[in-house]
Amino acid sequence: MKLRELLLQYEVQNKLSHKEVANIVGVSLSTYYRWINGESTLLKRRNLDKLSEMFDCDIELVINEGERVKPILGKVKAGYDLWAEEDIEGYIELGQADARKGDYFLRVTGDSMEGSHIFDGDIVFVQQCDEVDSGRIAVVLIGEEATIKKVYFKKDLMISESSNPKYESRYFTPEEVEELPVRVIGLVRFVRTDFV
């Protein structure tokens, strides 16, 4: 992830202006604009330290190894009735092989995928895509609601299936897929459970 993206996201999340963030870091507004425009990439040690403190992560690692550092984007429901959110909770560093498999993490809420060993509070690593093979676990947008489900394609139906038997599958006709809409937005590559 580039410094520019991090700074702009930080401004949006904290409702701050360019000038306010420049003041927090302790740099001039012109220096800050060079960072935002990607004109200045060599940062002084004190600026790196201040940015690391502000972002609560090793900013040098994020900038230099951005391809291996992936964001945790909000929450996705393992169930239904939760709106998709895109608030960055933090970042996770991955090995090179794993980093190539996907684009971002989502935090799971709900219990509908417990049969697939995806539990409430877990985070799933997602490869952004708009198609998956039948039977794969995917992030599906139903209207504006994001959910994790096994997706099947049978006859003319798209089926969204939980792996917890207490939840019923949902069946969508081609018309419903278009009208709601229902669309795949990512393939779940793996799940990570953190033990507290």
Which residues carry out catalysis? 112, 149
Chain length of the chain: 196
Report whether 151 contacts 140 (CB < 8 A): yes
Sequence letter at residue 181: P
The span from the CA of 82 to the CA of 186, in Å, is 17
Instruction: Write out the DSSP string of 155-191.
Output: TTEEEEE-SSTTS--EEE-HHHHHHTTEEEEEEEEEE
The span from the CA of 17 to the CA of 101, in Å, is 35
Q: Which bin fits 181, alpha (ψ -120 to 50), beta or left (φ > 0)?
A: beta
- CA-closest candidate to residue 187, choices 140, 146, 153: 140
